Amino acid sequence: MATARRPALATIRPLITPEGVDLRIKLADAGTRAAAFLLDVVFIATAAVVITIVALFGLRGLGTGELQPLFVVWIILIFFLRNVYFIAFEAGRRAATPGKRIVGIRVASRNGAGLSVDQVIARNLMREIEVFLPLSIIAARGGTGVADTLTTIFGLVWALLFSLFPLFNRDRMRIGDLLAGTWVVEAPKRTLMEDLSARQQDPVAKAFQFSQVQLDAYGIAELHKLEEVLRRDDYFAQKAVAETIGRKIGMKIEPIDSKAFLTAYYGELRAHLERKLLLGNRKADKHDR
């Protein structure tokens, strides 16, 4: 039995939250990551084709000489399209592109804190070097001579080495993950219990009231970690987080009320942060003053 469970356990990693709670996460396997990437490439390529068709219809009256500089502009736009696509989606609340969401994975910071924009930018700009640069070299070759053949082989080997890198390290990391301090992990499959508004009708949860000072104790990063704790529905993790938050905001929480307390605090904190965002006040985490 122990032998049968070993492969699954080999991809389990500890992820320590800012409250010191160990959330056990499961690393995404290489095949799932590849499927997510291919889906994202399809979405990006579709957008690129639409942009190209629209541009061609708009520029069909121009001469050949005028099209050459516009072609350079088009290449730059495609570069920004694919990078903005990955960065914008992974910097969002779900930390996942549409392709990752479809296959059920997301990006997480290895230090247990919220995923920062710097990490997202670093891991995705490295993809240019890992994948798109060698493919661009192959696409730019001009003929069928020996030099072009060697260029093609060089580009393919380059792309292959970087693509296979996750298979040769225990944490399934790309070079971009290694530099940015990130993992790609399986997203929790279960929903966040029932609808938030319905859960707050629980008499025990409704009994908790929080002041603005108590809600100001935490920010967006901690909200995401609290959501992870609620999703996993682990009694001991919820008890530890409830006690930590209780001490932070000056409330004594009984173990039996941990889940109700976290549910109430999550709902109030999320609403509080959304109100502040509408006013242009973004609190990144509990250290943000």
Q: What is the pLDDT of residues 64-122, one digit of tens each?
A: 556 667 777 778 888 888 889 999 999 887 889 999 999 989 998 887 777 889 999 99
**Domain-embedded: residue 60:** yes
DSSP 192: S
Cα separation, 82 vs 192, whole angstroms: 31
Alpha helical stretches, state H, the chain: 2-9, 30-59, 64-90, 98-103, 117-127, 133-139, 146-164, 175-180, 196-199, 203-206, 212-215, 220-232, 235-249, 258-278
Return the DSSP state at 287. Answer: T
Q: Do residue 167 and residue 263 come from a single domain?
A: no
Residues 100 and 40 in one domain: yes
Q: Do 217 and 99 share a structural domain?
A: no
236 and 174 housed in the same domain = no
- For residues 165 and 272, what is the distance between their CA atoms, to the nearest angstrom? 43
Q: What is the pLDDT of residues 26-53, one digit of tens each?
A: 888 888 998 999 999 999 999 989 888 8
Residues 160 and 260 in one domain: no
Domain limit, last residue, from 128, 152, 186: 186
Same domain, 155 and 83: yes
Judge if 203 and 115 occupy the same domain.
Answer: no
pLDDT at position 63 is 56
| Number of neighbouring beta carbons within 10 Å of residue 251 | 15
- Indicate whether this model's pTM tops 0.75: no
- Do the domain assignments include residue 282? no
**268 burial level (CB within 10 Å; 0-12, 13-18, 19+):** middle
Residues 203 and 222 in one domain: yes
Per-residue pLDDT, 279: 47
Residue 238: pLDDT over 80: yes
Average pLDDT over residues 246-268: 83
Same domain for 175 and 79, yes or no, is: yes
| Residue pLDDT, tens place only, 173-232 | 889 999 999 989 887 654 444 444 445 555 555 677 888 888 888 877 777 778 778 877
Range of the domain at 249: 196-277
72 lies in the same domain as 158? yes
Domain boundary residue, one of 157, 186, 215: 186
287 within domain boundaries = no
What one-letter code names the amino acid at 99? G
